[in-house]
Amino acid sequence: MTTVFWDMHGVLLLHYTPPNETVNSAAYQTTLKKLQRAVERKRPQMSDKRVLLLHDNARPHTAHATVNLLEEGGWEILEHPPYSLDLAPSDFHLFPNMKKHS
């Protein structure tokens, strides 16, 4: 599985989860720490600005330990509606391009 994090300037981090590895809160926190380092390295101008993170309401994303990590880092979570049938708005740009390479 591939997790992609991007902003309006481009991709910040591609994280590849090995086959048969469970994505739990601890694994997601490790990925978020990598994302934080990627933001610091690729977007140094963001160091004094607020980071807004849009992710869904999957359990690893909403676990107390994950939320605490994001709060400690000063990141703000943009709420994704529970049980939404819609993808995140940015997914619509990613998935058609992925289908071209299938």
Please give the helix or strand (H or E) that residue 18 lies within, else none.
none
Residue 59 Cα distances to 1, 42, 83, angstroms: 17, 28, 13
Q: What pLDDT is stored for residue 28 in this prediction?
A: 93
Domain boundaries, the chain: 51-102
In angstroms, the first-to-last Cα distance of the chain is 15
What mean pLDDT, rounded, does the chain reach? 82
pTM: 0.75
The count of C-alpha atoms lying within 13 angstroms of the C-alpha of 77, restricted to the half-sphere facing its C-beta, is 17
Q: What pLDDT does residue 99 have?
A: 59
Structure tokens given for 45? 């101008």
55, 45 Cβ separation under 8 angstroms? no
